[in-house]
Amino acid sequence: MATLSAHGIAAPLPAGFEGRIFVRSRIGDEVPYPVAQLATFALPAEVGDFGGGAVNLMGSRDIFATLFEYGPESLGRRLFARQGMPRSLGVTDFRPYVLRRGLTGQSGTQWFFTESLRPFTLYVVLGSHTQRNVLVPRVNSLISSLTISPLSGLTAMGSAAAEPAYPPSPAGGGRWN
């Protein structure tokens, strides 16, 4: 089983999955943080953080997942109060209206949480809501083994370091949504 690993995120990939873990290049004063994108279809070179440019390519049996890290200023906020990423989702967690881009037939789920003192959101899209009984177990096979490690350079609960502990990729950039 191939494993993606960078920026303190490791994702063993079940058969049929591919993905990337990257940090976009800095634009202005904005500080970018790691993003992991995982999919069962060929991801285009330029994909928005939450699947823009990719979810429209999904077939009914496809899955797209993104793990998006927020800055340390988000630590301790109520939105990120959940400790730990969900490692098993149910079919009822997916709803057609939980989509950043409301493409007909798809459904999604989104979770905010903190793990290893790092605030994240996990956003998952199913190619077809009606296929969720088949697709959700595949999602679970992906997220059950995904690990998030603490990063050096981040301090606890809101006393944020201003700079990320990882360099943005020089080749990053491009789309944001």
Point out which residues bind other proteins (CB under 8 A).
2-7, 9, 13, 16-23, 40-42, 45, 166-167, 169-172
C-alpha span between 39 and 121 (Å, rounded): 16
Comparing CB distances to other proteins, the nearer of 23 and 135 is: 23
Q: How far is the CB of 19 from other proteins (least distance, A)?
A: 5
Q: How far is the CB of 70 from other proteins (least distance, A)?
A: 19
Angstrom CA distances, 154 to 81, 114, 119, 148, 166, stand at 17, 13, 11, 14, 11
Count of helix runs (H) and strand runs (E) in the chain = 1, 8
Residue type, 69: E
Q: Which residue has the tokens 């949504």?
A: 177
Comparing CB distances to other proteins, the nearer of 40 and 114 is: 40
Q: How far is the CB of 157 from other proteins (least distance, A)?
A: 28
Comparing CB distances to other proteins, the nearer of 134 and 156 is: 134
Q: Are 84 and 34 in contact (CB under 8 A)?
A: no
Comparing CB distances to other proteins, the nearer of 28 and 170 is: 170
Q: How far is the CB of 26 from other proteins (least distance, A)?
A: 13
